[in-house]
Every structure is written in C-alpha cells, then in structure tokens.
Amino acid sequence: MRTLVIEDDFTCRLILQSFVNSRGQVDVAATGGEGVVTFERALQKGKNYDLILLDLGLPGLDGHSVLSKIRELEEAAGTPDARRAKVVITTSHSDRRHVERALELCDAYLVKPLSKRQVHDQLISLGLIEAPGAM
Amino acid sequence: MSDALILYGYDYLFFVYGLAFVFIGAVAVAISRMPSDRAIFRSLALFAFTYGLMVWFEMSAWLLPKGISATLPVVLLEVLAFISLLHLLRSHGSLPLRLHVVFMAGIVGAAALIPRDVVALAPLLLGGAIIVSAFIVVRKIPGARKGSGPAYAMMILGALHFINEEAFLNIAHVPLQTIQVICSVYVLGYMWSLYQERLAATLGVSPGEVHSLSGRWVAPAIAMILLMGYAASNWVQGAEDESQRKSLLTGARIALGGIDYADVASLTGTPRDLTSAEYRRLKQKMITLRAADPSSRFVYLMAYKDGKVFFMVDSEPPSSEDYSPPGQVYPDASDDLTSMFSSGKALVEGPLPDDWGVWVSALTPLKDPETGKVIAVLGTDIDAANWIRDISEHRQFFIAITTVLLILIISIFVHQHRSEISHIRVSASEQRLRKLFDVTYDALVLHDLDGNISNVNGTMLELFGLTREQALRLKLADLFVPESIDRPLNSLLRGAMDGADPVFEGQARRPQDGGVLDVMVAVRSFSDDASDAILTCIHDITKRKQAEAAKSSFLANVSHEIRTPMNAVIGMSDLLLDTKLTREQAEYANVVRASGEHLLFLINDLLDFSKIEAGGMKLDEMEFDLFHLLEETIDLLALQSHKKGIPLVSVIHPETPVMVKGDPGRLRQILLNLGTNAVKFTERGEITITVEPVVTAPMAVAARAQKLLFTVTDTGIGIPEERTDELFTPFSQADAHTRSLYGGWGLGLSIAKRLTEMMGGRIGARRRPEGGSVFWFDAALPKSESALADVFDSTDLAGKRVLIVDSHPVRRRNLESALAQVEVEFDTCEDISRAVDFSSKTGKEPYHAILVDTEAVDEQSHNLIHRLRSSFSGRQTRLIAMVMLGESVDPRTLEAAGYSTWITRPVKRAQLYNALGADDPERKYEDEIGGAEQVAAPHLRLLLVEDNKTNQLVAVRHLEKLGYEVEVADNGPDALDALATREFSAVLLDCQMPGMDGFEVSEAVRDPGSRVLNHQIPIIAMTAHSADDYLDKCLAAGMNDFVSKPIDKQLLPRTLEKWIGAVFDRADLMERLDDDMSLAAQVIEVFISDFRERMALLTEAVKSGDCDTARREAHTIRGAAGNAGAKSVHLLAERFEKACGDPTLSSDDLSHLACEMESQFILFTESSAVTIKSADENERNLSAEAV
C-alpha cells in the first residue's frame, strides 16, 4: 500500500506517517501544491497512491482544491475507478458542514486529533487493509 | 651456771637476760597479731619464750633439791628453742619443708644415739641455729630501722653459746652474762620499736603518735624495779653471808677450845713431828673434828714462819691425795690469812673456788695464852654448796618479788597500752570517716526536717562556693532551683523521714554567684534517738548532662547523615514503584521500600532510646488503619521468615477494630521488633502472630480505652524463665553467646518495653513448655469514633461463596476471619483432593472463587487442579492461587495450572477483597499494578485541605490509588502557604474547617493579590452537604466543582479528570497512538517546542490587533495541542479562536486567554514530562537490546 500524507502540521504528519508506515511506502507533502505535484509525478510513473490522507486546512492551496486537482489528474490519466486513490480527509473541525463540500470527492473523513484505531478502522472499512484476526 | 657466779650476783644478770627474752617473746606475740609476717613472729615468740624460760631454769637450778638435775628440762627447752628457730626459718621461707623434716629427724637421731653428748651439744646446736636465723631472718625483717643491728646482736648471743663462761670471766673479768644482757636488751628495744612502727601502720596513724603514747614510764619503771631487786638481793646476800660467817666462826671457836695449846706449841712444823705423840694426838683431834661436821672437808692447823704459811696437822690420812704433811707450804694463802698471824683476828674466808671445789674456810687463831702471840691457825674448810644455796634461796626470793612487781607493772602497762590503742583505733577510724565525709564526691548536707543545715562536708562547700559559716546559716531550700524539682522539697523531706529514700534530679543553685548546677539528689533519714536529722547527698551531674547533650547531638548528627542516603533509597524505590513494573517487581520494590523504612526505624531506635532516657519521647495520637499496618508489618516479617524457610502465620481476631487511635509508627516498631526477634531466634517450626481485643474491662470502659493484645509465638531457642526480665533492660541480650551468634544491639526490647508502657500496656515474655517463647504486649488502642468509609469494595462481596484450600490451620482461620468480615460465605478444607470432593458433593450454588494455597498443591495433585477447574467449567468460579510473598511466580505456569489470578501470602485483606471482587476475566497475570494505574495520572499533585484526620486518611488513600500525589494541609492558612510555594494540579477543599473555612480559602486563591502561584488552579469542594444546597455557594466562592462526602469512588476520579485530566489527557493520547510511547513522546516534544514560537506570534498578533494571524496561530496551536493530548490548551485555543471573531471581546480578554493558555501549557509540560522520560528509557532499553 502506497500512501501520501498531505499535511502542513509537522506533528500531524508525524502521527499519520507512523500510523501507516508499517503498511507500505509513505510519502509526505507539507503543502497542497507539493501534494499535487507529488501525486502527479507518481501517476505519471504509474505508481499510483492507494491512500491519500489530506488535511483540509492547508495554507495556500487548501484541501478542497487539492482534492479536486487530484481527482482531475486521475480523470485525465484515465485511471479506472478501482485504481483511484482513496482519499481520507483529516480535519480539526468537527463541524460536518465543513467537510460536506469535500464529501463528494473524498472517500472518508476523520476528525482530529486522530487515533490509530480510528485510522485503522477507517482503512479497514475502505478495504485497504485487512481486519486483524478476520480470517 | 657455776655456783660461784651466784656469789658474784651474776644470777641477777641471768634473770635480766631471761626476762629480756620473755619480753621479746611478748612483743613478738603482739607483732604477730598484726597483718604481716605473722608466722615469722609467732615462731620468734615461741623461740624467745622457750629461750627465756631456759635461761631462767638454768638460774633456778639451785633451788632444786639435791639429786634432782635441771639438765633435762634445760636440754628440752633448748631443743624446743631450736625447733622454733627451724620453724622461724621455715615460715620465712628460707628453709624448705623437706630440709626441715631432715633437721628434725637429725636432732631426734642425735639425741637417741649419743645421749650424753646431746647435753653438751644442745647449747652449741642452739647457738648455731641462732646465728643462722639471725643472719637469714632477723636481718631482713622489714622495718624503719634496719634489722642488721639486732641481727648482729643475736649472732653474738648465738656465738656466746660456744664460749666457756668461767674461762671468759677469768680472761675478761667481765661475766659473759653482761654481754648477753646488753645484746638481749638491744634486741628487745629493736622489737619494741618495730612493734610501734607496725602498730602505727596498722592503725593508720603516724609513728610519732604511737611513740607519744603514755607508756613511756614503763621502761624506767622496769629499770628501777630491776635495780631495786638487785639491791635488795645483794643486801640479803650480805646479811645472810654475815650470819653464816658468824655461825661458822662460832663453831670454829668451839673446836678451838678442844685443842691443847701445849701440843701445838711442841710441834716444830717439820716432818719430824710425825713421830711425836702430840702430833698424833692433834691428828686424832682433827679427824674427830672433821667427822663431827659432815659438811666440813678439811680440818687443819697452819703456822706461819718466814713469811710462809705451812701446814702443821691436817685431818687427812697420809694415804689421801689431799694429805698435807707437816711443813708443807700452803701456796694459796691469802693476805688476810697471813696477816691473821700478827693480828690474831678470826675470819671466814671464801667462798673460794680452788682445785677441790668452792669452799668456805673458817680460820681461828690459836694464841699463846701468855704472850697472846698467834702460834697457829685452826682452819676448817667447809663445802660452800649449802651455804650458797641458802644465799641463793634468799636472793631468788627477792628476784621472785621483783618478778611479781614486774608482772604488775607490765600488766598495768599492757592494760593502759591496749586502751590507748583502741582509743587510737577509734579516733583514727573516726578521722577516716570524717575524711570520707569531707572528700566524697557527693556534697553532703546534714539538716533537720525544716531544712536548717547543721553540718556540711568539704565537697559541698567547694561545689556551692561557700565557707562553712555561710553554709551553716543557710536552709536546704536555698540550695535548689525550686522549679527544677518535680515535688516540693518539704514533701520530699517528709518522705525521707518515712523511709521513702527519695532520689531526684534537678538543679542546684550556688547562693553566692547564682550559678546553676545539674544535680542528682538523694535524701536519707539520718535520725537517731536524740534528734531528727536528714542527710541530703547532692551529686554533681553537670558534666554528665553536658556529655549526654553532646551524645544526643552526636546521635542526631549521625542519624541525619545516615538518613540522607536512606532517603535516597526510599525515594528511589518510590520512583521505581511509579514506573511500569510487573507484579513481582512491584512486590520486591515494595519490600525494598518497606525495608528502607525499617532501616530508618532502626536508626531511630538509637535516637528513641536516648529520647526515652531523657523522657523526651512523645507518642502520636492519630487514627489509623490497624489492619493495613498489621498486614504491612506481617508482610515484612513473612519475607524474612520465608527466607529461613519458617512459615509465619498471623491471626487477627474478627473483633479487632479496623480503625484505631494511637501511634501507628510506634506500634509497628514494637511488632517489628518482636517479630524480627522471633525470626532471628527460630531455626525451625513456625512463627505465629496474633492480635485480639482484651476483654477484661466492663463494656463502658472497654469502649473508651480498648486494649489489644499482640502475641508473637515462636518455636526458637527460647529464653530461660529467670532471664525474661533481663531481656527488657537496655544493652542486655540473653547471654554473650547469643549476642555473638545473632548480633543486634539489644536496644529493641527495652525500647519496646518503654513504648508499650507509654501506650498504657505491658510487655512480657515466657518460655513455652514445648520449646520456643511467647512475647506479648498489650496496648490501649481505642476504636476510632469516626467510622471509616470502606476503602474496599466489600459490599460487592457480601453473600458470595468462597472455598478455602489451605493446609495450615492458623492461616485458614485467618482467611476465614477476613472473609467473615465482609460477609462472604466460605467453606474450608485442608488439601486439594478434599476440595474436589467438596465441590462435587455440594449441591448449593457454585463457588464464586476458590482460594488455593500453593503449598497444598504438589506435583501429583496438579491434575486435581484441572479437575477442580473442569468441575466448575462454565460457571463463574475463579481459582485464586495464594503464593508466598517473595517466592518467584511464573504466571504462565499458574495460568497453565488453571488459576485465574494470584495473591501473595500472608494474605492482605485489601488484596484478597480486590482479587475476589475483580470480575473482569481479562484481569490476569499481565496486570501491571503501578504501571496500569499510576501512570494514568502521572505525578499530578493535589492539595488536600482537610482538618479531620480520618477524612484525610480516606481521601489520601483514594487519591493515591488513583495515582495522584497528595499533599495534605490541615487548615486554610497552611493550604495557602502550600499554594504559594508549590505547584499543584488541583485543590480538594473541605468547606467546613475551624478558623478559615473553605470559601474563604477559595476566595483567597482567586484573589489576584494573594501570594498563590496559580490563581486559576481548579478547586474542588468537598462537603457533607448535598450539592443542591451548596453548589452555587461553592461556585460563587470561585470553586470549580463539588464532590460530596463520603467520597463517591466513581465520582471522584471523574470530577478530577474533568479538571485535571484537562491538562494532559494521556489516556486519550496513548489510545490514539495505540500506546506507541516513543511516538507519543515525539508528538509531545514537537508540540512543546512548537508552542512557544506559535505563542509568541499569537501574543504579538494580539498586541498589534492582528486578529487573523492570532486566529490562525490559535488554530495551529489547537490542532497541535489536540494531537499532543494537551486538553486544556486545546480547549483554550479553541476558545481563543472563537474569541477572535467575537467583536464584544477586547484585546485584554484575548491576552488574558493567552496567559491562561500559557499557564496551562506549563502544567502540561510538567504532566507530560514523565511520559517523555519513560519513552526515552524504553527507547534506550530497546536500542540496548538491539545492540
């Protein structure tokens, strides 16, 4: 599983990275722009990300813009639905309205602070990882 | 003694000589009564007496009737004197016993073999012995004057035995006896001075004092009597002599009348006369005359011619040797005889010794009737023996009188001397006593019942700096500082008169300079029939007191020095206990900690002892959990005894109160002491500790002063019955051997004794007939009035059923009583096989739990455990193992054996109840006490403000269980002090307190002007009132929240979390990060390092009114705080973020919020520090493992 973490806050990056780095390669981007570039490069190489953990409150290019850019790039590349990246929005706003806008394009959202169990449960429900013990 | 000597009066010399020796003997007897050289002087006395008697015997030989010889007794006395000399040599040590025997045998042998010679030999032997003895012994007798003078005198005396006295007299013209008398008197003088000297030494007085005794008259008196005796005997001798001569002359004249003048005139005086008839007639006449007087020896006629005296006729026949033919010249003719021929005067000559003996010659002139011319002298020689005896008899009569006089004089002297000596003795001992009185270290004061001083000793004068006159003007009370004496002086004096002999310590005052002394005073009745007197002895103990003070300060210093590292040991084990530990590690760490505390107690022993000695020991009076204390103590002891392989069981009577009032530290000290001793002195068997209430007093009294009896029974070496008292005196152990074997300083029991006495109890020990000993003590530990809110979840346990499997009857009983206390039903059995029976037979509802003593389970019965387990499978029966404390436990083995969990033995009630109450089936071996509970609230320090001790105890217990660190303040001001100096996470505040109440405290905290460090600190009220009434009042006073009393175990942690967990929600963080410690640490560290920067920007923005920047920073902080679990910062950041958009709030409000955020941040850094630290340690451990 290849994961891209787009997160401006160092701590959050650290936490998210540590949550998923046992599951495969994790790349990180500190800004929205960086995230889009990283994603595009990977797409060109054919090394698609399975999971993108995206902070909504990014400075500059915000999370919503990044999300729509990503989806545009995938569209342009003609990526099949199954191979499209699962995008999980992370946000410190518990207010649902805040994320509603992104909900169409993303697969799930998590409210900060994040817990490992929370993240894992989400990944399981997205079918990215297997539930432990579920044979 | 030669007869002739008597005529010269020499018998008197003999008398004096003998007398001198008798005196020497007497003095020697007197000396022999003194302590030194007794045997020597006894022998000397014997010798002197026998010698003196011998001399006197020789002198008195004349008085014996004819034919009785004085030789035998004299020789006997000589031999006796000789033997006594040998004895003298032996007592002196210069003659070995063997040689002594040989000497004696030699003497006896010599006497038997040559009896005739012994007579001659005896004096010589004796003389030799005297010389030798004098040389060896007398010379060396210790004395002021050297013994060599007398020794030489004695040697001379001895040497004189070898000299013929007559020959000596002829040569020296001085009788031998003169020298003997001089020498013996000299020796006597020496002996006398020796006696005086030794007497002085014995009496302990100066020799001068003995010299000055009134006995000086005796020597002149003796001399005078002797002189008078001498004169008298001489006078009587003269008188006797005269009358004897007269009667001789009378006889001679009568004889002369029978002689025919013509016949005599016809003789020529030549041998031619032999043929003449006249000659024959005259010869016949002479023979007739001689025959008439048997005492006459010769009768003869002598004539004088040409200057020569010659014989004319004698009474001897011509055949006799003594026959003098006519004309034979008489060569020995004296001048008197010669002149008689011209003077014609009759005379008695003699007594003269000549070749034939001692003779008296009566010479009568035969005159020519016409011319009157003397033509011849008729001589009659008479044997002088009778004559001398007569004289001697008369002399010795006077000597006897002299002796009687002497005896009289001596008796008077001895009597006087003795009385004087006893006087000296008395006065000397009086003087010594007086001196003793004066020089004794104690100041002595003699006074009457009113304290009027009548006599004092020198020490008193010195001690109090007084003169005797000053002292005698004082009263006893003037000498003391009244406040320093615990009883009034008067009553003490009266006590002394009644024989109470009071002794007390206090302070004395020097009346002159006001100086104060520490003294110990003994008051004794000194009364006699005449008056009531009291002797007060004042012993100066100032120096001792100073030394004691120095000693205690030394002890204090030493104990401080030892305490410092000990605190580190205890503190570090405390910290260790805060870290994540396995149960086993936690148990061990607990023991380390408890032992460290015990060691401190031991050190305190020393201080305690000196404190008790000084009467400075005070006991605490507080409420405490007796069970907790007992279990803790017994745990410690059990660990010790288990190491020796001795089981230790404790039985706590079910009626023993849980909460009591007393001094827990001291009680623990006594118990530990007795218990440790029991462990120390027991090699096999077991130790039993029991606690039970003493039921003696009536109920009413018992409720107040309830006494508990503690016994410690062991099966050790025991103590001899007669030494049980000794055990409790300081510094004594049963015996030196025991001490060397087991060590220890023997203070413990004596401290225990004093402590129990202070607790209103007694302590004792007795020997158990079956071996070992029982130490017991009781103490008044009244049940605490205030009921303790139960710390344990015991209510859940009521009605549950438990099966106890324990092989030890006492332990079983103990478990039973523990279970009975929380109303748990129970069955008991001894071993596991019975347990199986039990469980299968019983038709009742299943057991909630089965407590299994692991000792009751051996290898073979392991499968029984399985059976037991399986017989309950499906039901909710839990198997709980009871494992000896300190035994290493392998949880997997236990799990494999089917146990649900385990507890340590000796069983602690709390542990037991918890184990029974734990319904969580997951709570198994991996439980990490400490780790699980305590880190949850890491080092959050709470301030508990509570005046009631019991409530304090309960609250502290609860809070500590929740993992908080609690500081207790007894009242409001203390609380404010604590808050002003130290950081706390929250305050738990009792509303009702005497003095400053909770509301005032709260207001003071919130007052920005108070010294309190954190005015925003969460304050949680504690009150027995219901929340409805009080909540508003509390909030109005600035408090944050409210908990009711008794404390709700569920509510308290929740309330606390609400306010304290608000700072650092570690549980949340760890959960989110899936217990990834290092990640958590990293997150926290990033947050901390980032925060200040963000905060600086935020503050700047607030100042400049840049709301957007401020909000953005607050948002960032909020996110980061949320990530790091900095809950309060998170919330504040959120509030700030909102406030930025609120136009009603001023920038002051914002900066206030910012300040609060910062202070919360500081709290967060403190709270999270432990997490970071333990993460670091984990990391280090991991990397160490990796290497």
Q: B1079 vs A92: CB contact, 8 Å cut-off?
A: no
Residue B831 predicted with pLDDT over 50: yes
Query: What average pLDDT score do residues B996-1025 get?
Result: 82
**Taking CB atoms and an 8 Å cutoff, what residues of chain B touch A14?**
1079, 1082-1083, 1086
Q: B1082 vs A14: CB contact, 8 Å cut-off?
A: yes
Residue B284 predicted with pLDDT over 70: yes
- SS3 of residue B515 by DSSP: coil
Quick one: pLDDT at residue B711?
92
Q: B1072 vs A11: CB contact, 8 Å cut-off?
A: no
Residue B934 predicted with pLDDT over 50: no
Q: A11 vs B1074: CB contact, 8 Å cut-off?
A: no
Residue B1140 predicted with pLDDT over 70: yes
Write down the mean pLDDT value for chain B. 77
Q: How confident is the model at residue B632 (pLDDT cuts 50, 70, 90)?
A: confident
Q: A15 vs B1115: CB contact, 8 Å cut-off?
A: no
Q: How confident is the model at residue B160 (pLDDT cuts 50, 70, 90)?
A: confident
Q: Of the spans A105-114, B186-195, B791-800, B1049-1058, which averages the highest pLDDT?
A: B186-195
**Taking CB atoms and an 8 Å cutoff, what residues of chain A touch B1116?**
9
**Taking CB atoms and an 8 Å cutoff, what residues of chain B touch A123?**
none
Within B64-175, where are the H helices?
71-92, 97-113, 115-136, 148-160, 165-172
Dump pLDDT digits (tens) for B858-872. Answer: 666 666 666 666 665
Residue B492 predicted with pLDDT over 90: no
- Mention every residue, 6+ apart, whose C-beta is less than 8 A from residue B708: B626, B656, B660, B691, B692, B693, B694, B778, B779, B781
Dump pLDDT digits (tens) for B220-252. Answer: 888 898 888 888 888 888 888 888 888 888 887
- SS3 of residue B105 by DSSP: helix
Residue of B nearest to A59 (CA): B1112
Q: A11 vs B1087: CB contact, 8 Å cut-off?
A: yes
Residue of B nearest to A58 (CA): B1116
The ipTM estimated for the assembled molecules is 0.74
Quick one: pLDDT at residue B585?
83
Specify the pairing of strand B374-383 against strand B357-367.
antiparallel
Query: What average pLDDT score do residues B733-741 get?
Result: 50
Q: How confident is the model at residue B64 (pLDDT cuts 50, 70, 90)?
A: low
Quick one: pLDDT at residue B750?
82
**Taking CB atoms and an 8 Å cutoff, what residues of chain A touch B1071?**
115, 117
Dump pLDDT digits (tens) for B555-604. Answer: 666 666 676 677 667 767 766 776 778 887 887 888 887 788 777 766 76
Residue showing tokens 């006889």: B251
Query: What average pLDDT score do residues B932-951 get?
Result: 63
Closest Cα in chain A, distance from residue B1019 (Å)? 28
Q: How confident is the model at residue B710 (pLDDT cuts 50, 70, 90)?
A: very high
Dump pLDDT digits (tens) for B757-774. Answer: 888 888 888 888 888 888
In percent, the amount of chain B with pLDDT more than 70 equals 79
Contact between residue B904 and residue B851 where contact means Cβ atoms under 8 Å apart: no
Measured at the CA of B981, the angle between CA B980 and CA B983, to 5 degrees, comes to 90
- SS3 of residue B661 by DSSP: strand
Dump pLDDT digits (tens) for B647-701. Answer: 888 888 777 887 888 888 889 888 988 888 888 888 888 888 888 888 655 554 4
Contact between residue B969 and residue B981 where contact means Cβ atoms under 8 Å apart: no
Residue of B nearest to A13 (CA): B1083
Quick one: pLDDT at residue B712?
92
**Taking CB atoms and an 8 Å cutoff, what residues of chain B touch A60?**
none
**Taking CB atoms and an 8 Å cutoff, what residues of chain B touch A57?**
1115, 1119
**Taking CB atoms and an 8 Å cutoff, what residues of chain A touch B1122?**
92, 112-113
Low-confidence winner among A105-114, B270-279, B684-693, B948-957 (lowest mean pLDDT): B948-957
Query: What average pLDDT score do residues B835-862 get?
Result: 69
- Mention every residue, 6+ apart, whose C-beta is less than 8 A from residue B725: none
Most B CBs within 10 Å, among A17, A92, A110, A123, to test the B interface: A92
Q: How confident is the model at residue B1008 (pLDDT cuts 50, 70, 90)?
A: confident
Residue of A nearest to B1125 (CA): A113
Query: What average pLDDT score do residues B266-280 get?
Result: 80
Residue B118, classified by CB atoms within 10 Å of its CB into exposed (0-12), middle (13-18) or buried (19+), is middle
Query: What average pLDDT score do residues B890-908 get?
Result: 73
Dump pLDDT digits (tens) for B525-557. Answer: 887 777 778 889 998 888 888 887 777 677 666
Quick one: pLDDT at residue A6?
92
Residue B942 predicted with pLDDT over 90: no
Residue of A nearest to B1070 (CA): A115
Quick one: pLDDT at residue B85?
83
Q: How confident is the model at residue B65 (pLDDT cuts 50, 70, 90)?
A: low
Residue B939 predicted with pLDDT over 60: no
pTM listed for this prediction: 0.43
Measured at the CA of B523, the angle between CA B517 and CA B524, to 5 degrees, comes to 150
Contact between residue B641 and residue B647 where contact means Cβ atoms under 8 Å apart: yes
- Mention every residue, 6+ apart, whose C-beta is less than 8 A from residue B11: B1, B5, B59, B62, B392, B395, B396, B399
Backbone torsions φ then ψ of B745, nearest 5 degrees: -110, 10
- SS3 of residue B1105 by DSSP: coil
Per-residue confidence in pLDDT tens, chain A, 135 aa: 889 999 888 778 888 888 888 888 889 898 889 999 999 998 888 888 989 999 887 888 888 889 899 999 988 888 888 888 889 988 766 556 666 777 778 888 887 777 777 888 888 888 888 766 443
Pick from B1115, B1116, B1122: which is nearest to A113 by CB?
B1122
- Mention every residue, 6+ apart, whose C-beta is less than 8 A from residue B944: B952, B955, B956, B959, B966, B967, B968, B969, B988
Q: Choose between B318 and B987: higher pLDDT.
A: B987
